[in-house]
A and B are shown apart, each in its own frame.
Chain A
Amino acid sequence: MSAAIEARGLGKDYRRMAAGYKLRTLKSALLDRSLTDGLKQSELIPAVRDLNFAVSPGEAFAVIGANGSGKSTLLKMVAGILKPTAGEILVNGRVAALIELGAGFHPEISGRENVFINGAVLGLSKREIDRRYREIVEFSGLEEFMDEPVKNYSSGMYVRLGFSVAIHTDPDVLLVDEVLAVGDEAFAHRCIRRIEEFLARGNTVLLVSHSLGLVEEFADRCLWMENGRVRLVGEPRRVVDAYRQAVAEAEGRGHQEAKEQRQSAVQGEPERAGDAGDESGAAAEATGDEGEGGEVLRWGTREAEVMSARLLAADGTERYNFSTGDQVVFELQVRAHEELEDFVFGIGVFTFRGLECWGTNTTLAGFESDALRGDVVVRLVCPSLRLAPGEYSLDAAVHARDGYAYDYQRKILTFTMTAREQGVGVYFPRHEWRFEGGVKWSRVPRDA
């Protein structure tokens, strides 16, 4: 059986929109029917490069990737809206593109008339629309509003009518770009059911989405695009996992950069802080370094200092993104400027809204201090950190037993936790659902 959609060496360049190219691009458009032939490589932006894949009939094929990775350009090329600049795209059968629903709705005229116009734009004859009109209106659930001008519709109603017309054009290949994100939950479910029926009839769906859950649930195969190229194609779960991992890693790198920036900002002048450490502990506030919005990020008298903090993964590498349940090591480099016998090391983990998730220190753990001198390394090892997915910040401190701060640093670093499953709150214990008696599910997660 031949493929429903096949891309062979598919590529698309956009031109940079700078003045001065206009005449040349017009000339090249007139002579070669191409906007880009007359341009140098430096004047082009490659959106899609050397893409090869085939989608078989009846398959639900998902495309994921960051913004600007070329997903929508790909979809528009499949739809035939954009022409490729390299390679070719073959599509078997009639295509309906749910790219922008209700494209071409005219605000001033009624929903009823717009159904006919939109249907005509999507390639239906008047008779075909007549035949499906009732069904279209029923599916949209907008019976009472069909005589209202479309400008009075809410954005959800607009999308519902648009989707309803598009899905009733009986395509062989359906292209869906993020449109399921609009409209309310009930309508989204109805759309998904409709698309599933459509698949069951042996038709093909190409889906572009940022909703990874939907992709995992829905797609037979998944393509991950990065910078216009294929990063990975295959079984959705594997591809989505790899993608999530990459996103978390990128976030982790972001946390690391932010940490380094903060460190150079806050610890730029450690000497000044040392001088301010006079006898009156009340001066502590005065030595604080301020972060954004006037928030005090560091205070203390600096007899001892937290020189730096980092997070280490089980393999000993420095990382700022972890999966829930991973081993995490909190490491502090501490320097004592004079010998101290009263000292406590502590950390605290906070959400960005300032909720304290967990904190501990050496006193709470039962250590009693005797002597601290020179440079030391403090490591707190958590064999399994079970924080819920989200972003967290870390406070680190060295202080006296009575709380007198030598050096207290807020938000010394930030990190991301990810998990396969969602959860509410900050704690994410290992868990499993079990049921007894008359409980039946129409869908069960793949893990269970």
Chain B
Amino acid sequence: MLDVSRRLLRYRSLLSTLVVRELKARYRGSFLGYFWSLVNPLLLLAVYSFVFTYIFTPKFADEANPYPLFLMCGLFPWIWVSTSLLEGTDSLLSGAGLIRKAVFPAEILPMVFVLSNLVHFLFALPVLAAGLLWGHLSGFPVGGWGAVWLPLIIGLEFLVVGGLTLGLAALNVHFKDVKDILTNVLSVLLYLTPVLFPLSFIKVAWGHWAIRWLNPFAPFSTAFQEVLFNGLQPEPVLLAQMAGWALVSWMLGSWLFSRLADSLVEAV
């Protein structure tokens, strides 16, 4: 499983070339270009904000005020996670031409999507920063130096998403059902991860426990809310949890990928 990591490092220039290609190709010929990467997150933000401010009045209004800013801190990373997983899982099939016709390090393909979506997420960060600044200036207790932890959190979450995508992509070659299952799991997971609400809001003890300890994305979402919205430094337990998930997920995903790597060319 180490060889997957080693190959990804060795082919990093190819990887970056392909990420750039992916980004360019996506917006080639469109008028708004990169701004499209902001449209979807902002739209979701507007809808959820509307629903949870004017239709349901949530009980966590005090903990997460102003709600749109709170939501942004969890939603933007979540969009990175879910699109990476969806696109990355399908990447070996959509890139079948490459791995069947050329000597090509297949592990690169899933990573291209994780990275290009990460770039979209990073491009959205200035919007988030501007929002927090506005909130801060308007007198809300949002934002702070906790944000310096952001690179570490993103780095660890990259390992979680990358590992899962590698494993799922390899499995998806053998069972095309993987992608369909994933689509459904992700739409449920949005509500089982503290994205739309803070973790503390889950009052049912066993539900709180399960989401906190069993959902690999929960600590990350909580951490983003902590360091961005509250501007605090993440608790050591949270850091340990994230590091643990990163290690487990990357090891498992790259192990699965390396076991299936030899069979990919024939199976796609």
Distance between Cα atoms of A82 and B264 in the complex (Å): 9
Q: Is A125 an interface residue (CB 8 A)?
A: yes
Q: What's the minimum C-beta distance from B176 to chain A, rounded to whole angstroms? A: 10
Q: A113 to B259, Cβ gap below 8 A?
A: no
A residues near B17, Cβ cutoff 8 Å: 116-117, 120, 126
B residues near A15, Cβ cutoff 8 Å: 266
Q: Is A106 an interface residue (CB 8 A)?
A: yes
Q: What's the minimum C-beta distance from B61 to chain A, rounded to whole angstroms? A: 46
Q: Is A380 an interface residue (CB 8 A)?
A: no
A117 and B102 in contact (CB under 8 A), knowing A30-B259, A34-B263? Answer: no
Q: B97 to A108, Cβ gap below 8 A?
A: no
Enumerate A86-144 residues with CB–CB distance to B below 8 Å. 95, 97, 99-100, 103-104, 106, 108-109, 113, 116-117, 120-123, 125-126
A residues near B13, Cβ cutoff 8 Å: 120, 125-126
Q: A108 to B28, Cβ gap below 8 A?
A: yes
Report the stretch among A21-29, A248-256, A393-401 that lies at the interface: A21-29
Per a CB cutoff under 8 Å, which of A26, A76, A104 touches B104?
A104
A81 and B100 in contact (CB under 8 A), knowing A14-B266, A108-B28, A116-B17? Answer: yes
Q: B266 to A79, Cβ gap below 8 A?
A: no
Q: Is A80 an interface residue (CB 8 A)?
A: yes
Could you give, for residues 233-268 of chain B, a 1 whenever the CB lies within 8 Å of some chain A CB and a 0 otherwise? 000000000000000000000001001111101110
> Nearest B residue to A103 by beta-carbon distance?
B101
> Nearest B residue to A120 by beta-carbon distance?
B14
Q: Is B136 an interface residue (CB 8 A)?
A: no
Q: A104 to B98, Cβ gap below 8 A?
A: yes
Q: B97 to A103, Cβ gap below 8 A?
A: yes
Q: Which of B14, B24, B97 has the most CB of A within 10 A?
A: B14
B residues near A99, Cβ cutoff 8 Å: 101-102
Q: B25 to A106, Cβ gap below 8 A?
A: yes
Distance between Cα atoms of A76 and B267 in the complex (Å): 15
Q: A121 to B260, Cβ gap below 8 A?
A: no
B residues near A120, Cβ cutoff 8 Å: 13-14, 17-18
Q: Which of A82, A113, A121 has the most CB of B within 10 A?
A: A121
Per a CB cutoff under 8 Å, which of A81, A83, A116, A149 touches B28?
A149
Q: What's the minimum C-beta distance from A366 to chain B, rounded to whole angstroms? A: 66
Enumerate A52-106 residues with CB–CB distance to B below 8 Å. 76, 79-83, 95, 97, 99-100, 103-104, 106
Query: What class of interface size applies to chain A in its complex with B?
Result: 35 or more
Enumerate A1-53 residues with CB–CB distance to B below 8 Å. 14-15, 22, 25-26, 29-30, 33-35
**Chain B binding surface SS class:** helix
Q: A121 to B25, Cβ gap below 8 A?
A: no
Q: A121 to B262, Cβ gap below 8 A?
A: no
Could you give, for residues 154-192 of chain B, a 1 whenever the CB lies within 8 Å of some chain A CB and a 0 otherwise? 000000000000000001001100000000000000000
Distance between Cα atoms of A106 and B25 in the complex (Å): 8
Could you give, for residues 2-34 of chain B, a 1 whenever the CB lies within 8 Å of some chain A CB and a 0 otherwise? 000000000001100110010011001100000
Q: Is B55 an interface residue (CB 8 A)?
A: no
Q: Is B103 an interface residue (CB 8 A)?
A: yes
Q: Which of B13, B102, B175, B261 has the most CB of A within 10 A?
A: B102
Distance between Cα atoms of A104 and B101 in the complex (Å): 9
A residues near B97, Cβ cutoff 8 Å: 100, 103-104
Q: B103 to A80, Cβ gap below 8 A?
A: yes
Q: A106 to B265, Cβ gap below 8 A?
A: no
B residues near A82, Cβ cutoff 8 Å: 265-266
Per a CB cutoff under 8 Å, which of B25, B29, B101, B259 touches A29?
B259
Distance between Cα atoms of A29 and B173 in the complex (Å): 12
Per a CB cutoff under 8 Å, which of A33, A76, A103, A126 touches B259?
A33
Shortest 4 CB-CB contacts between residues of A and residues of B:
A103-B101, A100-B101, A35-B263, A108-B25
A residues whose Cβ falls under 8 Å from a Cβ of B: 14-15, 22, 25-26, 29-30, 33-35, 76, 79-83, 95, 97, 99-100, 103-104, 106, 108-109, 113, 116-117, 120-123, 125-126, 149
Q: A22-B175, A29-B174, A97-B102 are in contact. List 9 more A-B contacts (CB 8 A).
A: A30-B259, A33-B262, A81-B102, A81-B265, A82-B265, A106-B25, A117-B21, A121-B102, A149-B28
